[in-house]
Structure 1
Amino acid sequence: MTTAPAIDLRTFTTLDDVRGDLIDVYAEVRAPLLHLPNYAVTAFGDRLDRHGADPGFVAVLAYAKGHPVGYGYGNTIERGDRYWQRICPAPTEKYTESPALALKEGGVRPAWRGTGTARRIHDALLATREEPYVTLMVNPAAGDGKVHALYRSWGYKDIGSSQPSPASPVLSVMIRAND
């Protein structure tokens, strides 16, 4: 890991002031995939608007010299949430009996990968939360498996798979304690 220049981490609980920055970073992070319907910027914008209106929404963005270089966001999910309902096999009650934090999206501009920025965003986001568990879905093919392995190195474990929409790839569902 190389040392990154100084970044400023900012936390947001509404989309009002940050939607444009989220879309800007997303478009660069997912540039190789934007031709696929599920990854198109418009599809992301629709998901972002939906997630931003969900209970417990929080986003953390990293800025360098005033420009956004990475982001992560999520929200609270309760027992019975469609997030849990789409997982196969169904998660154990241990994970669903209390509200959990679902990390819905995250990414770091290519020039900032390998600098620790993604981990700093992740940890700052989790530090704002009290849910006992945090869960996420990852495309196991992302980065030739490197993204999945990265989450494992951060303490996440696989608990199943999910295909959130017909246009989405089958994703690995991961979870860890929020400690």
Structure 2
Amino acid sequence: MTSAPALDLRTYDQLDVVRGDLLDVYAEVRAPLLHLPNYAVTAFGERLDRHGVEPGFVAVLAYAGKHPVGYVYGNKIEEGDRYWQRTSPEPEERYTARPAVALKEIGVLPAWRGTGTARRIHDAFLDSRDEQNVTLMVNEAAGDGKVHALYRSWGYEDIGHSQPSPASPRLTVMIRRTR
């Protein structure tokens, strides 16, 4: 697929409405990694359930007809949030003094990669946000470095590293303005 056909982008602020679709798409997106404890569907489900009740939770899913083909979700974080506490070196106050939005997960089905779908759902997610900055974490090895490079092309810059759990790889923390 070289260009994205018409997609229906849907925004949700309640996890229970969309949890099944998120799990289904995640399982296909992360299929090559599901044998690793941090990437197992059960581990993702536990993180999703925790994030879904945190302040400012929003998910955007892209549908082709009735089938979800991509998703993004995140929530608001404030100064002192465990997200910032696990970031090393400690982020500058200009990033943490005001609430930010943490983009916790983004994924697009393999057949839809390279079509602009990820950018469309990313931008739709940010369109619903009032926070000044958006931050995310990326495994620099993902896609042989292509995912990290993609986020840089979207305006993100590296500000530190984090290892959210013992089973998680070391991740690069990135940030940019929401608009």
Asked if TM exceeds 0.5, the reply is yes
* Distance (whole Å) between structure 1 residues aligned to residue 4 and residue 100 of structure 2: 31
Aligned to 2:105: 105
Report what 2:140 is aligned to: 140
Q: Which amino acid aligns with 1:113?
A: R
Map of 1:14 onto structure 2: 14
What whole-Å deviation, never above 9, does each CA across 1:58-83 have from its counterpart, x for those lacking one?
00000001100000000000000000
Q: Distance in 2 between matches of 1:112 and 1:135?
A: 24
* Secondary structure class of the residue paired with 2:16: coil
Q: Structure 1: which 5+ residue stretches go unaligned?
A: none
Paired with 1:106 and 1:133, the residues of 2 have a C-alpha distance of 17
SS in 1 for 2:15: coil
Q: 5 Å matches for 1:5-154?
A: 5-154=5-154
Percent of aligned positions that are identical: 78
Separation of aligned partners in 2, 1:89 and 1:121: 30
Task: Give per-residue Cα distances to partners, 1:63-115, cap 9 Å, x unaligned.
Answer: 00110000000000000000000011000000000000000001000000000
Q: Distance in 2 between matches of 1:31 and 1:8?
A: 24
**Aligned Cα root-mean-square deviation (Å):** 0.8
Q: How far apart are the structure 2 equivalents of 1:165 and 1:24?
A: 23
Q: What residue identity is the alignment partner of 2:58?
A: V
For 2:131, the aligned partner's letter is: E
* TM-score normalised by L of structure 1: 0.99
Question: Hey, which bits of structure 1, 4+ residues long, moved more than 3 A?
Answer: none
> Which segments of 5 or more consecutive residues in structure 2 lack a partner in the other structure?
none
Displacement of 1:2 after TM fit? 2.1
Letter in 2 for 1:86: R
Q: Secondary structure at the match of 1:63?
A: strand
Counterpart CA distance in 1 for 2:133 and 2:5 is 31
**Partner deviation per Cα, 1:24-57 (whole Å, 9 max, x = no partner):** 0000000000000000000000000000000000
Residue 158 of structure 1 and its aligned partner are, at CA, apart by: 0.1
Equivalent position of 1:170 in the other structure:
170
